[in-house]
Amino acid sequence: MRNNVGREIPDELLIHGVEAFQGQYYLHNKEYKKASPKVRTFVDPAQDKLVPTLKEAIEKCGLRDGMTISFHHHFRDGDYIVNMVVETIASMGIKDITICSTSLGDAHDPIVKYIESGVVTGISTSGVRGRIGETISKGRLKKVAMIRSHGGRVRAIETGDIHIDVAFIGAPSSDAYGNARGKGGKANCGVLSYSMVDAKYADKVVVITDCLVDYPNFPPSIEQVDVDYVVVVDKIGNPQKIANALLRFTEDPRELIIAENATKVLVNTPFFKDGFSFQTGGGGPSLAVTRFLRPYMEAKNIKMGFAIGGITKPMVDLLNDGLIRTIVDAQDFDLTSIESVHNHPRHFEISTSQYANPFNKGAFVNKLDFVILGALEIDTDFNVNVVTGSDGILRGAPGGHVDTAAGAKCSIIVAPLLRGRIPTIRKRVTTVTTPGESIDVVVTEVGIAINPRRQDLIDALKKTRLTIRTMEDLKNEAYSLTGVPEDIEFEDKVVALIEYRDGTIIDVVKRIKGKSVD
Amino acid sequence: MLFLNAQRASLIKDAYVYKPDSIIFDLEDAVAENQKDSARISLYNALRTIDYRGIERVVRINGWDTPHAREDIRAAVAAGADTLRVPKTEVPDDILVVEKEIEKAEKEFGVPVGKTLMMAAIETPLGVINAYNIAKCSERLMGISIGAGDYMRTMHTSRSASGIEMLGARAQLVIAARAVGIMCFDTVYTDLSDMEGFANEVKLIKQMGFDGKSIISPKQIPIVHQIFAPTQQEIARAEKYIRTLGANSRDGIGVFKVEGQMVDVAMLEGAERTIALAKAADVYEGDL
């Protein structure tokens, strides 16, 4: 059937209560019973949780063919955990495993050979980059991959749509009883927000660390009451790739024009007032917006009530200078943010459920005034694609995009009109990840477009000197420079489902046709 | 005036987004000898198909002493370039010979004769000495520009932070341009990592009376605009001069005081230029 954003969802996928996407708030007020994990009690104080090798931990967990294992991506491109665990599983002859990760990237290219050999047959993730994305797009993964937003992943776990048999949680520091933290070790990532739900809902929880510390390792991100085993390994990851020493501030003039325009949009809306809330990603223009915002805040004596999301130095600087009252943190990108969380009295770690889960009793994203987001493609209906490249191959991450766009009062997309020869703004996006109804303003280097649903923003921004244009007009300008992009040819085979945060299907990714896959 | 390598499609396809006042599509030094034809074709197609939103389109052609100049002129004129920049001009003949060729091309491609303007780049001591004669030699000349690279070489010196080595040439050129009533543009600043040094140089040449600065990166545009755009204070004063001069001339008063400054009709031109510049720089919010 055709869903609410005009995408054809094959009927054979709409079974077991799975619905096509109906609108961003369709499941508001839905009642459901949460899933619950199997718990193995730990009563005898003489028993130990420390296990000498990863292999023994996997054996003790009773992992077998067909089970689901989970990981977080706080270690980003420096992660060693996923490869280490899957390699061990493969060496034990276990197969048909589903990986439920919060994201997968270039660091996980070695997993491809285990997809080819049938050790890994299913993937549920918020992001797929590198060779895994290509492998899925070629149709080499046995099961259909599930692409879920950060909030959507938590929802899927809590509703029981996906059940984790064993959660493997890489931790920069842990004590022998499983109190684990994102700090205090050799390779710190700051917080362990993505794993908090895994620890609560997985049948078995294994903490993997390279820095065993004295008991109790407090305050813990992952609590001992949820942890079955602790394994100490040589290295959990590459610290240089886990956290940047300093994210470079963009000097690209195009990105700076976009960031300046986005900042002007933000400060001219009625939501820019004392106590406003704000989230931005770690991309070039987004980081620049945080920097450009400061003089406006200082000039009008406006302070940010709270900042959320992936935290970076510019945000921490604002906190330290008293321009932000509270930071709630679900991921850290640089050494400054890692140092600040838990140390600054108003910089707190939150779980991904608190951050973005649409099926709890109200997530932080619902209280956002502004979010600044990127996009690979945007169409004239404001639908956004952040998961497939314009060649149709999976190479992106919905992450918190969908969640924050649905929650924020004003969601701002920052994107160049073109990337190389490829129009970013086009008639139809390759894949819809975020519905147009969640997107309020699109900011490019040649002007901004405001969603016609937002008359309030149109009224507020028409008084400014910003160049306001229609999406159609922006698209025409892009096409006038590049020509009309040819449609990519796909086969009928669905290789990935794009699940909206509420569990409905917003789009599917099909296997791409022809030589380009090889 | 933003220099871009005409061969680089990725650079020239949408350079208008940075809002330079002019784009100089370079067929000369930025393009390798064996790539001259491809750069020319790329330039022709860009100028024919891309709407540069009113930004002046200047083409830097290869020198007349090269085998490329004639084709460069034909392609630029046929594509409708606004201005051709002639490199290493030393004597008026360097301009006149190109002018003749432009006229030939205009006739060949049905472009109104005289539509294509010219800019003389002066890059040698001889050129500097002849600046006035060059500047007045053709009706097509909209401006002259100094090029520091070759000038430094031929003067046996190199660039410094103070710019003292450029002082003589800059002064000579700007005086020549003003004497003839055309514009004068300064050379490029090549150290993209030193934005402070760049800003100092732009302040210096603005104070000397130059009309603009040649640049090599869009990064440099905001600094040039910021320094050349009139301040709100200058705009307010100019508005006051224009308004008061208008009212007083109706009442037959010639000289009067504004904020303690003696003002007469000679100040009108400067005030009007300030308002025009404010409008061009998109910083004018008044109703003049």
Q: What is the pLDDT of residues A244-273, one digit of tens each?
A: 776 777 888 999 999 999 999 999 999 999
Closest by CA to A443, choosing from A269, A243, A231, A258, is: A258
Query: Looking at beta carbons, which residues of chain A come within 8 Å of B55?
Result: none
Percent of chain B residues topping a pLDDT of 70:
100
Q: Which amino acid is at B267?
A: M
Chain B residue set in contact with A, beta carbons under 8 Å: 10, 13-14, 17-18, 50-51, 217-219, 221, 282
Banded model confidence at residue B255, pLDDT cuts 50, 70, 90: confident
Average pLDDT on B249-253 reads 79
A248 touches chain B (CB under 8 A): no
Q: Calculate helix-pair angle for B167-180, B195-208, nearest 10 degrees.
A: 40
pLDDT number for residue A420: 86
- Rounded to whole angstroms, the Cα distance separating A363 from A352 reads 9
Q: Are strands A166-171 and A204-209 parallel, antiparallel or unpaired?
A: parallel
Residue A518 has what pLDDT?
47
Cis peptide before A314 (omega within 30 of 0): no
Q: Which residues have C-beta within 8 Å of that of residue A85, sequence separation ≥ 6? A: A54, A58, A69, A71, A168, A208
Cα B144 to the center of its chain, rounded Å:
7
Is B179's pLDDT higher than 80?
yes
**What's the gap in Å between the CA of A462 and the closest CA on chain B?**
16
DSSP secondary structure code for residue A269 in this structure: S
Which residue of chain B is at minimal alpha-carbon distance from A416? B17
Q: Angle, nearest 10°, between helix axes A193-201 and A150-159?
A: 10
**Closest C-alpha among A228, A150, A220 to residue A400:** A150
Lowest-confidence pick of A308-322, B13-27, B238-252: B238-252
* CB-CB contact of A346 with A327 (8 Å): yes
Q: Which of B16, B17, B191 to mutate to test the interface with A (most CBs of A within 10 A)?
A: B17
Cβ pair A436, A420 in contact under 8 A: no
Q: Are β-strands A304-311 and A97-101 bridged in parallel, bridged antiparallel, or unpaired?
A: unpaired
Chain A: nearest CA to B42, how far in angstroms?
14
Asked if B17 and A465 come within 8 Å (Cβ–Cβ), the reply is: no
> Residue A514 corresponds to which tokens in the numbers above?
């022809």
| Chain A residues touching residue B13 (CB < 8 angstroms) | 418, 481
What's the pLDDT band for B216 if we cut at 50, 70, 90? very high
Identify the closest residue of chain B to A252 by CA–CA distance: B219
Bridge partners (DSSP) of residue A442 are A413, A449
The predicted pLDDT at position A32 comes to 97
Q: Average pLDDT for residues B169-176, to the nearest whole number?
A: 97
* Total beta-carbon pairs less than 8 A apart between chain A and chain B: 25
- Chain B touched by A264 (CB under 8 Å): no
Structure tokens at A501: 């945060």
Buried b (16+ CB within 10 A) or exposed e, B58-95: bbbbbbbeeebbbebbbbbbbbebbbbbbbbbbebebb
User: What is the residue-averaged pLDDT of chain A?
Assistant: 95
Kindly give the pairing relationship between strand A97-101 and strand A68-71.
parallel
For A253, the closest of B10, B18, B51 (CB atoms) is: B18
Cα of first residue to Cα of last residue in chain B, in angstroms, is 27
**pLDDT at position A63 over 90:** yes
At A20-35, the pLDDT tens digits run 999 999 999 999 999 9
Rounded Cα distance, A224 and B37, in Å: 71
Which tokens go with B118? 């010219």
How many residues are recorded in chain B?
288
What integer is the mean pLDDT of B255-260?
Answer: 78
Q: Say whether A445 and B219 touch across the interface (CB within 8 A).
A: no
Among A232-246, A437-451, B37-51, B170-184, which is the least confidently predicted range? A232-246
Is A253 at the interface with chain B, CB within 8 A?
A: yes
- CB atoms under 10 Å from CB of B193, counted, come to 7
Distance, in Å, from the CA atom of B21 to the CA atom of B13, rounded to the nearest integer, reads 16
For residue B258, pLDDT over 70 is answered with: yes
In which band, very low, low, confident or very high, does the pLDDT at A293 lie, cut at 50, 70 and 90?
very high
- A254 near B CB under 8 A: yes
| Cβ pair A251:B50 closer than 8 A | no
What pLDDT does residue A246 have? 67
Q: Which residues contact A95 (CB under 8 A, 6 or more apart)?
A: A65, A117, A118, A119, A121
| Closest Cα in chain B to A477 | B51
* Subunit contact B219:A254, Cβ cutoff 8 A: no
Cα angle B220, B222, B225 (rounded to 5 degrees) comes to: 110
d(CA A140, CA A394): 13
- Chain CA centroid to CA B245, Å: 31
A467 at interface of B, judged by CB pairs closer than 8 A: no
Over the stretch A401-424, which tens digit does the pLDDT of each residue have? 999 999 999 999 999 999 988 999
Query: Does any CB of chain B come closer than 8 Å to the CB of residue A375?
Result: no
pLDDT in tens, A209-256: 999 999 999 999 999 999 999 999 999 999 999 987 767 778 889 999
In a mutagenesis test of the B interface, which of A419, A445, A448, A474 is the best target, namely the one with the most B β-carbons within 10 Å?
A445
Contact residues, chain A, for B229 at CB < 8 Å: none
CB contact under 8 A, A253 and B221: yes
Interface of A with B in 147-206 (CB under 8 A): none
Q: Give the C-alpha distances (Å, rounded to integers) separating B178 from A334, B121, B143, B211, B280.
A: 55, 16, 10, 10, 21
Between A266-270, A512-516, B168-172, the lowest mean confidence (pLDDT) is in A512-516
Interchain contact, A254 vs B18, CB within 8 Å: yes
What per-residue confidence (pLDDT) applies to A517?
47
pLDDT at B164 over 50: yes
| A481: contact with B, CB 8 A cutoff | yes
Residue B214 pLDDT more than 50? yes
- The reported pLDDT for the residue numbered A277 is 98
Q: Helix or strand or coil: residue A64?
A: coil
Q: Percentage of residues in chain A with pLDDT exceeding 70?
A: 98
The DSSP letter of residue A216 is: P
Cβ neighbours, 10 Å, residue A513: 14
Average pLDDT over residues A306-315: 92
Q: Are A474 and A427 in contact (CB under 8 A)?
A: no
Tell me whether A257 touches chain B (CB under 8 Å): yes
Burial of A41 by CB count in 10 Å (0-12 exposed, 13-18 middle, 19+ buried)? exposed
Q: What is the pTM of this model?
A: 0.91
- Write out pLDDT tens, residues B31-89: 999 999 999 999 999 999 999 999 999 999 999 999 999 999 999 999 999 999 999 99
DSSP B208-243: HT-SEE-BSSGGGHHHHHHHHSPPHHHHHHHHHHHH
**Contact (CB<8Å) B18/A417:** no
pLDDT digits (tens, 9 = 90+) for A366-402: 999 999 999 999 999 999 999 999 889 999 999 999 9
Rounded to 5 degrees, φ, ψ at A277 are: -120, 155
- Res. A281: pLDDT tops 80: no
- What pLDDT was estimated at residue A310? 87
